[in-house]
Amino acid sequence: MKHYIAYLRVSTDKQGEQGHGISAQRNAIGSYMGAHGGELLEEYVEVESGKKNDRPALQKAISRCKMSRATLIIAKLDRLSRNLAFVANLMDAGIDFIACDNPYANKLTIHILAAIAEHEREMISRRTREALAAAKAKGVKLGGHRGAILTKGIQLQGLKERRARAKDYAADVYPTIRELLDSGHSLNATAQALNSRRILTARGFMWTAKSVSRILQTAEDC
């Protein structure tokens, strides 16, 4: 059976419409699952603020999809499809994704949007190169080790991002682990409980007492 994590959105400037909007999104998701089958594991509701890229509920939904190997499902793609931060999050996460209003075009849509984002990045890179060339033409010394410094900087940034993702994952699953331990579960029993809930480790494996212990150490060191 296919498993889903629902992601719903409301806007702070439409408080009066929130109840209706949420109901409509739930109905759309329910109708899709009724027609195609599957099990809804959990839903996350995003209350959008003025900061368009600030989507904590989306990050939690993506993390849960990774943990449970579930598919992220939303009611409508609409303006989310034009938000590059949203598209980047989905592409980087590597999770399955379904939009109820256009379920057969979602993969193509995501790739097209990714291509647009890549084009914008190339334009930024081109402008940067042109700026550097202009600076050099004016006699500005850029330094002989500039390339090596940039490469090292990129490598360090990648390491920081991987560590950050590991900490984020630990932070997401820690409350569940802590709750199980506080209720009297041993490390082994906690691992079994996580496995029974279809929550996987960061690398997609079944839980063991050792992996539970590692999460505890990572989360409590943060």
Active site residues: 11
Block residue for tokens 């702070």? 12
Select from 117, 119, 122 the least CA-distant residue to 92.
Answer: 117
Q: What is the token pair recorded at 182?
A: 């506080």
Exposed / middle / buried, residue 122 (Cβ in 10 Å: 0-12, 13-18, 19+): exposed
Residues 6+ apart with CB under 8 A from 70: 3, 4, 5, 41, 64, 95, 96, 198
Which amino acid belongs to residue 196?
A: S
